[in-house]
Amino acid sequence: MKRFVIFLIMTAAFTVMQAQQLYVVSGVVKDQTNGKALSHVSVTIGGTGTVTNEQGLFTIKLNRRPDQLKASMLGYRTRRIALSNTEQQRIEINLQPNSIRLNEITVTPLSAEDIVRKALQKVPGNYSTVPLLYKGFYRETVQKRRQFISISEAVVDVYKTPYTMQNTNQDAVAITRGRRLLNMKPADTLGVKLMGGPTMPVIADVLKNNEMLFYEDDMPNYHFELDNPVMLGDRMQYVVKMTPHIQRIYALFFATLYIDQQTLAFTRVEMELDMSHPGRATTSMLVHKPLSLRFRPRELSFVIDYRTEQDETHLSYIRNVMRFNCDWKRKLFSSPFTVISEFVVTDRQEEAIRPIRGRDSFSRRDKLYDKVEYFNDPNFWGADNIIEPTESLDKAIERLKLRVKRQRN
């Protein structure tokens, strides 16, 4: 397996928004049994969608009259709700846990590894066979302890070649709109930047970029085991655990795979880097640091969701979490840092698309924070669909805006 690094490709060209009637549907998604807000629920209207934030909140903007909303999440029944034609509407969605009733014993003649290998063989047929252009929203945050010190956001275009091409050589990402906020104190002596974060839909798509998880030479290094099946919507899923059982010179992943039992399409992949050898984990996470700084890795994890529509499965959502501690060699206590990045597909185009090339794309070694500007416009996102900020992030953004305003005055 080659060493993986998440890179960035972007463009300086901004989309010009045309005046048009906008329909806004917002609301909250909760567990029907206990009323608890549900985060990371996929909410779609036609081909337009987003995911709920930590408080279960979502907003979807459309330039057409909405008809039906669909909310889906692993372990819950998919809910479809008819919508009105009003320009603004707010709804509450209650999802019912999807219990599994086994009335008979079902035996599969396939081993866990056989299921994974057959699912990988069916990727070209289960996923897009034509080039696609995804519109998506990307956000990355950096926290020192519980304090947000950096926030970057962007609307991105993602060009993906067909899944019959088992590589990402021509896949690319371009930034169409973005902003940044920084909250560095005078006493802070360390800044953290994520290299190539917005290219997550290219690099972390394990079904096209098999070097992330399904590198053929690494498959014998894993033990495969079937876990209890679960429901996604109305469809039963195989659950396969991948556990490293042979040590390599680089760190491997612990992974949980969710595979549709009928189509053998991957619907969800959860990955966490093996931290038992900190040096190997550091090689996978860290690009550069000052010589006198100690870096201690704690977590590198991914969640990759795929959504099936009309018998074809598409990338839907990616979440990446990095946790680590840093301290200078002469200091007694270390500082914990958390970097969280999220990408959600908000729209998809299949016709009259062109690859992202040349000046419209940037080097994969760029950092989003260095490529976007600060904006203090409450209507900055316009008709673009985003992931609603959580309450804590919303407050942090307001504090950062006030600090920047004071600095400018």
User: So where are the chain's domains?
Assistant: 23-95, 112-408
- 329 phi/psi in degrees, rounded to 5: -60, -30
Q: What is the C-alpha to C-alpha distance for residues 335 and 187, in angstroms, rounded to an integer? A: 13
Region 64-91 average pLDDT: 92
Instruction: Output the six-digit token pair for 214.
Output: 């399904």
Top pLDDT among 332 and 156 is at 156
Task: Provide the 8-state DSSP code for 161.
Answer: -
Using pLDDT thresholds of 50, 70 and 90, give the confidence band for residue 32. very high
CA distances from 94 to 280, 287, 317, 327, 336 (A): 44, 43, 21, 45, 36
Q: What is the C-alpha to C-alpha distance for residues 269 and 260, in angstroms, rounded to an integer? A: 12
* Lowest mean per-residue pLDDT among 15-24, 172-181, 342-351, 372-381: 15-24
pLDDT at 104 over 70: no
Position 370 scores a pLDDT of: 82
Using pLDDT thresholds of 50, 70 and 90, give the confidence band for residue 362. low
Using pLDDT thresholds of 50, 70 and 90, give the confidence band for residue 100. low
Position 69 scores a pLDDT of: 95
Across all residues in the chain, what is the average pLDDT? 86
Task: Provide the 8-state DSSP code for 218.
Answer: G
Instruction: Output the six-digit token pair for 27.
Output: 């609301």
| Amino acid at residue number 327 | D
Position 101 scores a pLDDT of: 57
**Class for the domain spanning 23-95:** mainly beta
Q: Facing residues of 318 across strands?
A: 304, 343
Highest mean pLDDT pick, 54-63, 180-189, 243-252 = 54-63
Position 395 scores a pLDDT of: 84
Using pLDDT thresholds of 50, 70 and 90, give the confidence band for residue 224. very high
Q: What is the C-alpha to C-alpha distance for residues 362 and 7, in angstroms, rounded to an integer? A: 10
| Bridge pairing between strands 68-72 and 266-273 | unpaired
To the nearest whole percent, how much of the chain has pLDDT over 70? 87
- 181 phi/psi in degrees, rounded to 5: -140, 145
pLDDT at 177 over 80: yes
Closest CA to 116 of 197, 28, 216, 49: 216
Q: What is the C-alpha to C-alpha distance for residues 74 and 160, in angstroms, rounded to an integer? A: 25
pLDDT at 2 over 60: no
Question: How many residues in total does the chain contain?
Answer: 409
CA distances from 122 to 208, 213, 234, 321, 323 (A): 12, 17, 21, 29, 35
Radius of gyration of the chain (CA): 22
> In what helix (H) or strand (E) does residue 23 lie, and over which residues does it extend?
strand 23-31
* Lowest mean per-residue pLDDT among 54-63, 65-74, 114-123, 389-398: 389-398
Position 254 scores a pLDDT of: 97
**Alpha-carbon dihedral sign for residues 320, 153, 91, 398:** positive
The structure's pTM equals 0.89
Closest CA to 232 of 141, 145, 152, 308: 308
Q: What is the C-alpha to C-alpha distance for residues 53 and 137, in angstroms, rounded to an integer? A: 13
Q: What is the C-alpha to C-alpha distance for residues 308 and 225, in angstroms, rounded to an integer? A: 25
